[in-house]
């Protein structure tokens, strides 16, 4: 699909606006900032990295590849290995990303090799050339198609992190449905973390109904927070009003109550 429009965001990095509905792949407040803070940092990739360890990542919504680039940067110099499966329905975004002007140098050193790999990629392994010397050992796999179907082609092992960065529920409702959220939750390791920009109550309710605790995600720009979810990892608490709303919604769904610290917790 042609017609993607380049958008320079507030931190100097680029994103793309969809040719039909106009939503951007990343926050206009800072595409690179969002990739680093809302996804790589929020999922605590660097905190959990250990020499010789492997961290497994599921990236729902490849887009320009910025979230993957941020994951590589987060693990730089740690000695940990990254195994990532990234899912994208519309491969035309890769050519559009490759045609963008360069971003800031600190972004390009991680993003340019990935952007180039995506531009020449087909479904399967991504071959990255030109990464910084401190980049982690990596295995990156692209899965083209509907994420509800390609999820089955990401191996059987659980994921340490899930980046849920599809277009909004109003545009891609199938990737925010209770069924898909439950499928993601089922693939999350006990201490794994799922991060998304969405703060919609139905999304948080779907994550809670799938057995995950729900907490406050990272703030980027004018958006106050995203959403973090995990089966067992500690989470920043939701504000009291949101916790009450989620608790009421879960009670209506005959789910478990919200815990006293303000994060939504599944029943034991």
Band the pLDDT of 149: cuts 50, 70, 90: very high
Q: Is residue 254's pLDDT more than 60?
A: no
Query: Which CATH number goes with the domain that contains 164?
Result: 3.40.50.150
Q: What pLDDT shows up at residue 248?
A: 73
Own/partner long-range contacts of 261-265 (Cβ < 8 Å, ≥24 apart): 261/237, 262/237, 262/238, 263/213, 263/214, 263/215, 263/235, 263/236, 263/237, 263/238, 264/204, 264/208, 264/213, 264/214, 264/215, 264/238, 265/213
State the total domains in the chain.
1
Answer yes or no: is 7 within a domain.
no
pLDDT for 264: 38
Rg (CA), the chain: 18
Instruction: Give the global pTM.
Output: 0.91
Q: Is residue 203 included in any domain, yes or no?
A: yes
Q: Considering the chain, what percentage of its residues have pLDDT values greater than 90?
A: 85
pLDDT at position 228 is 98
pLDDT at 260 over 60: no
> Tens digit of pLDDT for each residue in 170-199?
999 999 999 999 999 999 999 999 999 999
Q: Has residue 190 been placed in a domain?
A: yes
Question: Does residue 201 fall inside a structural domain?
Answer: yes
pLDDT of 258 higher than 50? no
- pLDDT at 121 (0 to 100): 84
Question: Read out DSSP for 33-91?
Answer: HHIIIIIIITTTHHHH--TT-EEEEEEE--TTSHHHHHHHHHTTTS--EEEEEEEES-T
For the chain, what is the mean pLDDT?
92
Round to the nearest angstrom and report the end-to-end CA distance of the chain: 46
- Asked if residue 162 belongs to a domain, the reply is yes
Residues spanned by the domain of 174: 30-252
Q: What is the pLDDT of residue 193?
A: 98
Q: Residue 137 falls within a domain, yes or no? A: yes
pLDDT of 129 reads 96
Burial category of 245 from C-beta neighbours within 10 Å (exposed 0-12, middle 13-18, buried 19 and up): middle
- Would you say residue 242 lies in a domain? yes
77 falls within a domain: yes
């Amino acid at each position: 699909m042609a017609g993607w429009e380049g958008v320079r965001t507030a931190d100097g990095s680029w994103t793309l606006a969809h040719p039909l509905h106009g939503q951007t792949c990343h926050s206009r407040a800072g595409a690179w900032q969002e990739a680093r803070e809302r996804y790589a940092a929020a999922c605590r990739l660097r905190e959990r990295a250990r020499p010789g360890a492997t961290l497994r990542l599921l990236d729902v919504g490849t887009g320009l590849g910025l979230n993957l680039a941020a994951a590589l940067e987060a693990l730089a110099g740690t000695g940990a290995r990254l195994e990532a499966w990234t899912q994208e329905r519309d491969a035309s975004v890769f050519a559009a990303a490759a045609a963008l002007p360069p971003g800031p140098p600190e972004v390009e050193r991680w993003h340019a090799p990935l952007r180039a790999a995506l531009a020449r990629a087909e479904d399967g392994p991504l071959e990255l050339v030109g990464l910084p010397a401190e980049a982690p050992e990596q295995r990156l796999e692209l899965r083209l198609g509907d994420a509800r179907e390609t999820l089955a082609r990401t191996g059987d092992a659980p994921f340490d992190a899930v980046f849920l960065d599809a277009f909004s529920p109003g545009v891609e409702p199938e990737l925010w449905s209770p069924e898909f959220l439950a499928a993601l939750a089922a693939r999350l390791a006990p201490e794994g973390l799922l991060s998304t920009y969405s703060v919609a109550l139905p999304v948080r309710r779907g994550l809670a109904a799938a057995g995950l605790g729900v907490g406050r995600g990272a703030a980027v720009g004018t958006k106050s927070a995203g959403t973090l979810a995990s089966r067992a990892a500690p989470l920043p608490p939701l504000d009291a009003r949101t916790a009450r709303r989620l608790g009421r919604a879960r009670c209506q769904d005959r789910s478990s109550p919200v815990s006293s610290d303000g994060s939504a917790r599944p029943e034991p």
